[in-house]
Structure 1
Amino acid sequence: MNRQSQLAIETHAPLFAEPRGDIQLSFEFFPPKTDAMAETLWRSIETLAPLKPRFVSVTYGAGGSTRERTHTTVERIARETGLTPAAHLTCVGATRDEIDAIARSYWDAGVRHIVALRGDPPEQGQRYAPHPDGYANAAALVAGLKAVAPFEISVAAYPEIHPDSECAQSDLDNLLRKIDAGADRAITQFFFSADCFFRFRDKLAEIRPGVEVVPGILPVTNVATTRRFAGQCGAAIPDWMDRLFEGLDELPQARQLVAATVAGELCGQLYAGGVRHFHFYTLNRAELAYAICHLLGVRA
């Protein structure tokens, strides 16, 4: 073997040669709108449940638009599965009393974990404005929830800065306010560069050692949809991703394979950098998340 070949092997060892299944998982779902969507959701939950996730979360629509469906889905997970459900809850469009009442109903239903978020305005393009009698922001929401009951609370973090933040430091300061208010961990918005996550994680560790930061992973099968999501949360879509999915519009299985490869490589890089907990944005589909977890060494 010549020197060039030897170097290629040494510097490009298989990403998944080392993982031994020593990771923790969590999965995010959204509440279904129809019976057919509900069937898809529950098939996905049944597929992913044997991987023994630390928790599964259920999203809350902009302006609280899915409040009842979120509550119903979370309660069903708590009642019918052995999984630990985490309910998303936002500040938008509700008074403190209303939000506190929702939190108490979750506690009474056996739900002990809340994902506390500021939330998005009901209409895209609007500026966020707190309810006059509501919680002003996510930090205030965290403090309010802790006053209602001793919930475990996860909050959002933004490796590429939230669109409403003035700069990276102000965004980090906002995260620290949420941690100081009682949050137990931060889950990041999705991203497509391991370096981006590592810079964010290491900067936070310099300022506040010991804060748990979990990378949020979005396997991409539709670049246009992902671009819309990214515009709402400040994530960057690399140019190479557009090129990678060109010509695959009518080939869904090929898109799945490409998506698994891209997300799998990102997770492999994160694992090599010390990450041992991954949060998957499933979009209510199990196949990609399951395949990537398998690559990481997790077995049912």
Structure 2
Amino acid sequence: MKSQLRHERTFSFEFFPPKSEEGAAKLRETWTRLARLEPRFFSVTYGAGGSTQARTLETVLDIHQHSGIAAAPHLSCIDSTAEQMRSILKTYMDNGLRHIVALRGDLPSGMREPGEFRYANELVEFIRRETGDHFTLEVAAYPECHPQAPSAFKDLENFKRKVEAGADSAITQYFYSADAYFRFVDDCERMGIHIPIVPGIMPITNYKQLARFSDACGAEIPRWIRKRLEAYGDDLDAIRAFGEEVVSRMCDQLLHEGSPGLHFYTMNQAGPVSAIWKNLGLTPQPE
């Protein structure tokens, strides 16, 4: 963890593009509240093959123009061509954006080949070749191993390729074991990887939804947490209170032991993130 201590501590929040005007209004309320916490950036997800491209751009530009916070659109390899990527990058540059989260993305059911870009390192390399150092590039990291990786070592090798292609920093898949994160960072340092690796944090508000997400993406929910959440049944208040306590304690450990900040998967909600932020005693405080 020594190399992580040298990096400036940063905080960021992730949203997904709303599907309706009502959703857009609610998201605007969310990022308006979270902007008061002065994060480094807000990121906005991007569907496979550009399926949410227009909504991602619309959301990113709204944030960029009105929040006072830098906006970072996600870009996915899936079903994308070099010409499409070139056009998207030009649009982002023309609108003054300087931050991108570059991902491979998940293959939709039935799709065997991702498209012209097979892996995230190829996308990172392309962005660097096309735009030089214009963009700060974030990539994904998997402390508990990518679910499709043949081994933890192969997963580390894949991560190193993204770094060598030009990534500036990384955001992890969410997890609920700080030990998994610290071990991953130590393994990265032994492989000569020294970019900031920011923990991805998922607040716990709905156990059934979280279990479904976790099974799909390979994020481990420790057995003791699962059993407690299962015991609460449909008592959402108890689930949220327990989740807030568990996640706040983990975030406190991460920060005290040297992680270079936190990246929150907000699910377009300000409340759970604001509660964790307040528990951590971070400044400025949410209103």
What TM-score do you get using the length of structure 2 for normalisation? 0.91
Give the structure 2 partner of residue 255 of structure 1: 239
Q: 1:219 aligns with which of 195, 203, 217?
A: 203
Q: 2:269 aligns with which of 285, 288, 295?
A: 285
Matched, 1:40 2:26: yes
Matched, 1:139 2:125: no
SS in 2 for 1:256: helix
The one-character-per-residue Cα deviations of 1:89-114 (angstroms, maximum 9, x if unpaired) are: 01111211101111110111111111
Deviation at 1:204, TM superposition (A): 0.4
Indicate conservation of the 8 Å contact 1:86/1:112, yes or no: yes
| Separation in structure 1 between the aligned mates of residue 107 and residue 199 of structure 2, nearest angstrom | 24
Q: Letter of the aligned partner of 1:245 in structure 2?
A: L
Q: 1:233 aligns with which of 198, 206, 217?
A: 217
SS in 1 for 2:36: helix
| Separation in structure 1 between the aligned mates of residue 68 and residue 138 of structure 2, nearest angstrom | 20
Q: Give the RMSD, CA atoms, in angstroms.
A: 1.6
Q: 1:77 aligns with which of 51, 56, 63?
A: 63
The one-character-per-residue Cα deviations of 1:162-182 (angstroms, maximum 9, x if unpaired) are: 111110111011111111110
Give the structure 1 partner of residue 251 of structure 2: 267
Give the structure 2 partner of residue 96 of structure 1: 82
| Separation in structure 1 between the aligned mates of residue 34 and residue 232 of structure 2, nearest angstrom | 27
Write the mapping of 1:5-154 to structure 2, written as runs, cut at 5 A.
23-123=9-109, 126=110, 128-131=112-115, 134-149=116-131, 150-154=134-138
The one-character-per-residue Cα deviations of 1:27-64 (angstroms, maximum 9, x if unpaired) are: 00000011222122111101110111011100012332
Note the residue ranges of structure 1 that are not aligned, 5 or more in a row.
1-21
| Separation in structure 1 between the aligned mates of residue 235 and residue 21 of structure 2, nearest angstrom | 27
In structure 2, the CA distance between the partners of 1:196 and 1:165, relative to structure 1 (3 Å rule), is same
Q: Letter of the aligned partner of 1:161 in structure 2?
A: C
| Separation in structure 1 between the aligned mates of residue 193 and residue 140 of structure 2, nearest angstrom | 18
The one-character-per-residue Cα deviations of 1:222-281 (angstroms, maximum 9, x if unpaired) are: 222112222232211222222222354543333322221111011112123212400000
Give the structure 1 partner of residue 155 of structure 2: 171
Indicate conservation of the 8 Å contact 2:188/2:194, yes or no: no
Q: Across the two proteins, how many residue pairs are aligned to each other?
A: 275
Indicate conservation of the 8 Å contact 1:63/1:119, yes or no: no
Indicate conservation of the 8 Å contact 2:31/2:67, yes or no: no
SS in 1 for 2:12: strand
Q: Letter of the aligned partner of 1:155 in structure 2?
A: V
SS in 2 for 1:186: strand
In structure 2, the CA distance between the partners of 1:122 and 1:280, relative to structure 1 (3 Å rule), is same
Whose Rg is larger?
1
Matched, 1:244 2:204: no
Indicate conservation of the 8 Å contact 1:154/1:187, yes or no: yes
Note the residue ranges of structure 2 that are not aligned, 5 or more in a row.
1-7
SS in 2 for 1:56: strand
Q: Letter of the aligned partner of 1:220 in structure 2?
A: I
Question: Which of 182-191 and 207-216 deviates more?
Answer: 207-216
Deviation at 1:128, TM superposition (A): 4.9
What TM-score do you get using the length of structure 1 for normalisation? 0.87
| Separation in structure 1 between the aligned mates of residue 161 and residue 21 of structure 2, nearest angstrom | 40
